[in-house]
Amino acid sequence: ICCVCLIFKEMVPMLIIGQRLNLAGNTTLLEAIKSNPDSAIQQEAILQEQAGAHALDIHVSFVRPDRAHFMAHVIDQVRSVSHLALSIDDSDLEVVEAGLNRAGNNSFINSPVDIDHVDRIGSLASKFNEAQLFIVPLKQNKTPEGLRDYFETSKKILKALENKGISKERVTIDA
């Protein structure tokens, strides 16, 4: 919250993003998916919505080698029971694109962005021009060292995205 206040110099409304469909750390859901994948995914989406989530984070890394296909499948299952905003979360932008193709306009692109590879996410953000961006700034594929370097890298990424026509109002820096 402090980083958001420093950047925007004002309080912003809280957005609650349910993280239980982030399969990277949810071993219980991973086990349930093995026996009844559609039901487990749908049930988790319903529970998070009932708990007050405003959006759902969908992350399928470490699940299968065909992550793009599985991402689309998970989103189809979530969309069958929920119309909450979806945060399509992956470092592989092909997986993110597969998710955005299924998720609709009410979506977030949630991905790390290296200062040297802003073009890739900029192109995706242009293609899905309704999507908001949640980004983790990287420098040479690593988190910048120290707060000053983090902010400087973030500002450079924001400027590069603005140069590609992506307004800073569409971008949230994950701090």
Please list the pLDDT of the chain residue by residue as tens digits (175 residues).
333 434 445 555 788 899 989 887 788 887 887 778 788 999 999 999 999 999 999 998 766 678 899 999 999 999 999 999 999 999 899 999 999 999 987 899 999 999 888 999 999 999 998 889 999 999 888 999 999 999 999 999 999 999 999 999 999 998 7
* Structural contact between residues 58 and 74, judged by C-beta atoms closer than 8 angstroms: yes
Residues 6+ apart with CB under 8 A from 152: 144
Looking at residue 63, what is its pLDDT?
66
Tell how strand 17-18 and strand 171-173 pair up: unpaired
Looking at residue 34, what is its pLDDT?
76
Residue closest to 57 by CA, chosen among 100, 88, 98: 88
The tally of CA atoms less than 13 A away on the side-chain side of residue 14 is 6
Looking at residue 1, what is its pLDDT?
30
Looking at residue 2, what is its pLDDT?
34
Looking at residue 6, what is its pLDDT?
40
Looking at residue 28, what is its pLDDT?
83
Residues 6+ apart with CB under 8 A from 11: 5
**Torsional sign, CA 157, 140, 118, 67:** negative
CA 13 to chain centre: 18
Question: Could you give the CA distance from residue 24 to residue 143 in angstroms, rounded to a whole number?
Answer: 19
Task: State the pTM of this model.
Answer: 0.84
* Structural contact between residues 89 and 67, judged by C-beta atoms closer than 8 angstroms: no
